[in-house]
Chain A
Amino acid sequence: MFYYISKKLFVSLITLFIISLFAFSLMHLLPGDPVINVLGEGATDEDIAYWRSYYNLDQPILKQYVLWVRNFIKGDMGVSLMYEEDVSETLARRLPVTLAVGIPICIVSIFFGILFGVITAVKRGTWIDQVLTTMANIGIASPLFWFAIMLILIFGMQLNILPFRGFVAPSENFVEYLKSIALPVAAGSLGFVAVITRQTRSNMLEVLNQDYIRTARANGLSEVSILFTEALKNALIPIITIMGMQIRIIVGGSIIIEQVFSIPGIGSWLIRAITNRDYWIVQACVLVISIVTVFSNLLVDILYGFIDPRIRKKWR
């Protein structure tokens, strides 16, 4: 187990290294000098020289990379030239907001996805299966922003029962927080509920046809016990991959949700930075998102080992 995890960890670090190279070269590969880009054509030579040396842009490129990584690890992601804001500070403020929306999306979609998946598999062919499966297919097919806008129109504007702009921190007012994330979470989980439902359903159907389920029945186990202790564990194995994918999208893919619902998280920040060519923010965001991605993949691999003894034993 230890060997298995350390090996996966090693691979993760290599991946991170490669991604950091990409993120770093971003500034140097895109046309135009990043400093002039922000200060404008009319900037004085002294100003330009000052900021260039502030960002170590006057150093040899290899040294720039080393300095950049070192500062990043120390938690210093530089200062955004455009807004003169400290990138690390803003990140520390915006990341919790993204997580406060993203984690509920994660929980809601896994819970309902598995629940609906099991129901549709057990009740296959009945009306409840047909209704849920049709809804899942619609959920997979409909674009996120369309669904978000429909939610805003119905619950926000027509019924006027839920807020659809802005975000209230849970520490401020928990009830308001729940209200403020209701629509974003509904919009953000739809696709995942749909995907997980479909995947769980087909896995369950396959597992329920396996010989060991017949063995369990022949041994007199009850249907409920068979479902949750014998079948689900096997059916979950392929679903873990989807869940891992989801963690990554919570951080990176919240862009649309944050934009539509005006939530001050990483996603809306990244959009603004890209529009303004604010490389320092883009670099920081890309790196943070990559770190989350890499570690969620690592988590998935470890979970696999926990849930599937065949994988665990292989790494002994």
Chain B
Amino acid sequence: MGGYSNRLLEVNNLRTSFFITEGEVKAVDGISYYIDKEEIVAIVGESGCGKSVSQMSIIQLIQSPPGKILGGEAIFEGRDLLKLNSSEIRRVRGAEIAFIFQEPMTALNPVITVGKQLSKDIRTHKKVSRKEAWNIATEALKAVKIPDPEKRMKNYPFEMSGGMRQRVMIANAVACNANLIIADEPTTALDVTTQAQVMELLVSIVKEYKTSLIVVTHNLGLVTRYADRIYVMYAGRIVESGTCKEIMKNPSHPYTLGLLKSVPKLDSDVDEKLIPITGAPPTLLNAPDTCAFLPRCPYASEICRCNSKPELHKINGGNHLIACYRDIARLKNEHDY
């Protein structure tokens, strides 16, 4: 746990909703998290649980209407990003916080060469000549280990593979010297071998340039090797958080346990059977006030049905938080499930 001076971003009680004709979609329903300098944090959860919306909210990238940031704060290097006006937040985007998106196939402009796109982003934030920007961009491509960077600069995105394009996105973050990289499912669209390569690269870049990294993913197996801490999201809320080690050892929210059972563990010796979580992900539209995981929870009991949503609270005395009335890690020990 770092001291406050070490804190890079601290998000408190962030709430973002989409107002559509059917009603209010509470995509992010009061989440708090933080990341320290040079830390790698993972945000894990099923599709549609609000991971992307929460991340895009902090740089005000939510399309409005229908979206609206209803409350909360995002303190980044001493100032609240949610209070910045449009030109102030533009100077943060790309320059201090770099985003890497899920879809490498569509995230780059198809009719502009990679070199021009990179140079333009650099020139948006740095007062350099066209030529200098080009050189910085070429260096960045070199840093992300793209072979023959001079030639690749003149390529259009469609002339590159998915993994290569994702490297270009990483190069973009490198070229602009961002302090924080937010990678939103950076490897989901790639094949398995490329996934590992891109993930390795991202982590090595983060270590080399001493930046911080938030990885958003629905694949818990992928991040356990790299992340320092993990936040598990469900239905717009954080349901469990803690250090990676602690959560792997003592998953305490039934949803986290379900997630762990549903993905293959890379470093496990035993051949465990994969068990998908039953039931459908919850609707965020006009949701009931009870625990959102209740309909799918194998451990649900009377206390869950009678009370409103459980709040995050510490367990095991340390830095491990869950939002659950049942703490299944303890149940397990007591009853030996």
Contact = CB atoms under 8 A, between A and B. Distances in A.
Interface of A: 210-212, 214-222, 225, 229-230, 233-234, 237, 307-310, 313
A211 B106 CA distance: 6
Contact of A215 (B92, B101, B124): B101
Contacts of B103: 211
A217 B101 contact: no
B59 interface: yes
Contact of A220 (B93, B109, B112, B156): B93
Given A225-B124, A237-B111, 17 more contacts: A211-B107, A212-B108, A214-B101, A215-B169, A216-B109, A218-B94, A218-B99, A219-B93, A219-B98, A220-B92, A220-B124, A220-B125, A221-B94, A230-B112, A308-B111, A309-B113, A310-B111
A310 B109 contact: no
A202 B176 CA distance: 34
A212 B124 contact: no
Contacts of A310: 110-111, 156, 158
B331 to A, nearest CB: 43
A237 B125 CA distance: 30
B111 A233 contact: yes
A307 B92 CA distance: 32
Nearest to A207: B109
A308 B109 CA distance: 11
B90 A220 contact: yes
B211 to A, nearest CB: 16
B272 interface: no
Contacts of B101: 211, 214-215, 218
Interface of B: 56, 59, 61, 90-95, 98-99, 101, 103, 106-113, 120-121, 124-125, 156, 158-159, 169, 172, 176
Contacts of B113: 309
A219 B116 CA distance: 14
A220 B107 contact: no
B107 A219 contact: no
A134 to B, nearest CB: 22
Contacts of A217: 61, 93
A214 B61 contact: yes
B109 A234 contact: yes
A218 B111 CA distance: 19
Given A214-B61, A310-B156, A313-B159, A219 B108 contact: no
Nearest to A211: B106
A219 B94 contact: yes
Minimum-distance CB pairs A-B, first 4: A219-B94, A220-B93, A220-B94, A211-B106
A230 B156 CA distance: 14
Contact of A307 (B95, B111, B172, B176): B111
A212 B169 CA distance: 11
Given A218-B59, A218-B93, A309 B156 contact: yes
Given A211-B103, A307-B111, A219 B124 contact: yes
Contacts of B172: 219
Contact of A221 (B92, B120, B156): B120
Contacts of B176: 219
B3 to A, nearest CB: 30
A218 B159 contact: no
A212 B106 contact: yes
Nearest to A222: B90
Contacts of A220: 90-95, 121, 124-125
A217 B156 CA distance: 20
A310 B112 CA distance: 10
A146 B95 CA distance: 56
A218 B61 contact: yes
Contacts of A221: 90, 94, 120-121, 124
Contacts of A307: 111
Nearest to B176: A219
A41 to B, nearest CB: 65
Nearest to A208: B63
B218 to A, nearest CB: 18
A310 B157 CA distance: 10
Contacts of A215: 99, 101, 107-109, 169
B106 A219 contact: no
B90 A212 contact: no
Contacts of A230: 109, 112
Contact of B110 (A212, A216, A219, A222): A212
Contacts of A222: 90
28 contacts: A211-B103, A211-B107, A212-B106, A212-B109, A214-B107, A215-B101, A215-B107, A215-B108, A215-B109, A217-B61, A217-B93, A218-B59, A218-B93, A218-B101, A219-B172, A220-B91, A220-B93, A220-B94, A220-B124, A221-B124, A222-B90, A230-B112, A233-B112, A234-B110, A308-B111, A309-B158, A310-B158, A313-B156
Contacts of B110: 212, 234, 309-310
B76 to A, nearest CB: 14
A204 to B, nearest CB: 15
B109 A219 contact: no
Contacts of B61: 214, 217-218
B37 to A, nearest CB: 21
A215 B110 CA distance: 12
